[in-house]
Chain A
C-alpha cells in the first residue's frame, strides 16, 4: 500500500514538472488568443476572453504572409534538392568504385568541422560576389548540401541495397543515371523520409543563414520576420505572439507525424 502511494506521488511530481517544463511555450500560445488590452491589464489577468483578433491583425498589418510564403518556398525546394543531391552522392560513395572516393568522403565529412558561425564573414563575400544576396538562390542552394545528408544516404545505400541488384541492371544495359532513378531512388524511401523530415525542420527553423543572405523584407523568411518584428522599439506583443504561434505549426505537424525520424537522427550522433 505504502509503495503504491509513493508511485502515485512520484507520477504526480513528474507530471507537474513536465507541465512546468513546457509552460513558456504554452503561455505563448494561450496569450496569442487573448485581447491585447488584457495582455497588459493591471491588475494582471490570467483568464481572458478568447479572441482571434491578434491573428487577423497580424495578417492584415504585417508582411507575415510574405514571410510565410518565402519560408515555404525555401524549405520545400531546399529539402527536395537536399534529398536528390545527398542520394546522388550517397550512391556514388557507396556503390561506384572510383579512386578519389575516399578522399571525397573524408572531404565531405570534414565540412562538419567548419561551423557556419566561423565562416559567416567570408561566406558573405562569396554570396555577394555571385550576386546571391537577397535572392531565393542564396536562400535555397547553399544550405541544401549537408554533410549529415550525404552521410545518412551513404550509410543507408551501402547497407541496404545489395550489389546484385545494381550488377544485374548493368548487365541489362542500364546507364548509371537510369540505375539511380529507377532502382536506387525507389529503394531509398526510408532514408528519403528521414532526410525530408530533418531538412524540413532545419530549413524552416533556420535563422543564421537567411540572416546572412537577406536584408530586403521581400525575401525574409518567417524566422527573420519574427526576429525583426520583436526587435522593434515598441513591440506589439499581441501580433508577435500570433505570428510565433503560427510559425510553430508546420514544424509541429511534421514532428508529430514523423517522430521516429528525429530520434533516429539523434541517435546517429548527427547535429542540427
Chain B
C-alpha cells in the first residue's frame, strides 16, 4: 500500500517536471556530455565520418600561439576580464551612490536611465555604438570636427577598438550591477548609522565599519558575475567589431564559434569549449553557492 502510494507520487512528481526535464536533458546535459566526447574526435561538417583522435585537438590548441589562435584569444579575453571586472565594479558602485544619495533629485528617473541599456539586446547596443563612433557620421566625430579636431577611425585601430569594446561592455552592464548595489545599500537600516553617529563615528568610519562590510556579499556576487560575463562575452563584440581589426577584439567564444561554424572543425571547436568550460566552472560554482545561500 505504502510503496504503491510512494510510486504514485513519484510518478506524479516526475510528470510535472517532465517538460523541463526533457528539454534540459536534450539541450543542456546531453550536449555538455557529448561535447566532451566530440573534443576527442576529428568531427567536421565537411565529412560524414569522424574518428577518435585522442588528445590531438588539445595538442593543436596548446601548441598554437599565433595572433589568430585560440590561446591568444583566451589571453585577450583574460586581459579584457582584468580590465572589465574592476572598472565595471567601481563604476556601477559609483552609479549606485549617485542614485541613492540624498543630494541628488529624481533618483528613480536616473535609475531607469542608467538601467536602460541592460534591457536592450546586445545587437542593438553594438549597432548604436557603432553608429555613435562612425567615422563620417558618428556623433563623436562630428563633435570633434566642430571643435576643429581630426575625426578618428575609432574601430579600425586595434588598441582603440579594444578600448571601445571594453567601454561599451561596461556601459551595458553597469546599470544591472547598480541595481544590485542599490538593493544592498538601501537595505542597511538608518538606525545602524544613527547609532554609530551617536558613538562618534565620522562619515568615513561609518563607511568602513558599516557600509563596506554589509556590502561585501553583494560585492563578491558582482565580481563573480562580471567575471563570468567577461569570459563568456560574445554577441556584443561579434556584432560591434567582428573580432577585428585584425584579431584585436577576437575573444574566446567567437573563436569557438568560428572554428565550428566557419572552419567546420567541430571536433576542434568542441575541444576549445572544453577548455573554456573548465575556465568557467570554478567561477560558476562560486556564483551557484551564493545563489543557494540566498534561498
Contacts and interface: CB of A to CB of B under 8 A. Distances in A.
Interface of A: 7, 10-11, 14, 18, 21-25, 27-28, 31, 39-40, 42-44, 46, 81, 84-86, 88-89, 91-93, 96-101, 104, 107-115, 117-126, 130, 141-142, 144-145, 147, 150-151, 155, 176, 180, 201, 204-208, 211, 223, 226-227, 230-231, 237, 240-241, 244, 247-248, 251-252, 255-256, 259, 262-263, 266-271
Given A109-B292, A113-B285, A124-B260, 6 more contacts: A99-B10, A100-B13, A120-B256, A267-B183, A269-B287, A269-B291
Given A40-B136, A117-B234, A226-B123, A122 B104 contact: no
Contact of B273 (A96, A118, A227, A244): A118
Contact of B30 (A126, A145, A211): A126
B31 A266 contact: no
B153 interface: no
Interface in B13-33: 13-17, 19-21, 23-24, 26-32
Query: How would you classify the secondary structure of chain A's contact residues: helix, strand, loop or mixed?
Result: helix
A133 B27 CA distance: 13
B20 A267 contact: no
Contacts of A259: 112
A151 B291 CA distance: 10
Given A40-B137, A269-B291, A91 B16 contact: yes
Interface residues of B, number: 92
Interface string B266-279: 10011001001100
Nearest to B129: A24
B151 to A, nearest CB: 9
B70 to A, nearest CB: 13
B288 A117 contact: no
Contacts, number: 266
Nearest to A98: B13
B142 A145 contact: no
A16 B287 CA distance: 36
Q: Which of A107, A120, A241 has the most CB of B within 10 A?
A: A120
B116 A145 contact: no
B27 A123 contact: yes
Given A145-B19, A271-B225, A22 B116 contact: yes
B281 A113 contact: yes
B232 interface: yes
A122 B113 contact: no
Contacts of B16: 88-89, 91-92, 96, 176, 180
B149 to A, nearest CB: 13
Contact of A145 (B14, B24, B103): B24
20 contacts: A21-B114, A27-B139, A31-B131, A44-B142, A88-B16, A89-B16, A98-B13, A107-B29, A112-B288, A115-B232, A119-B32, A120-B257, A121-B260, A122-B30, A126-B31, A205-B119, A226-B239, A248-B120, A251-B119, A255-B119
Interface string B124-148: 1001111110101111011001100
A93 B13 CA distance: 8
A78 B12 CA distance: 24
Contacts of B257: 120
Nearest to B267: A121
Contact of A122 (B38, B137, B291): B38
B163 interface: no
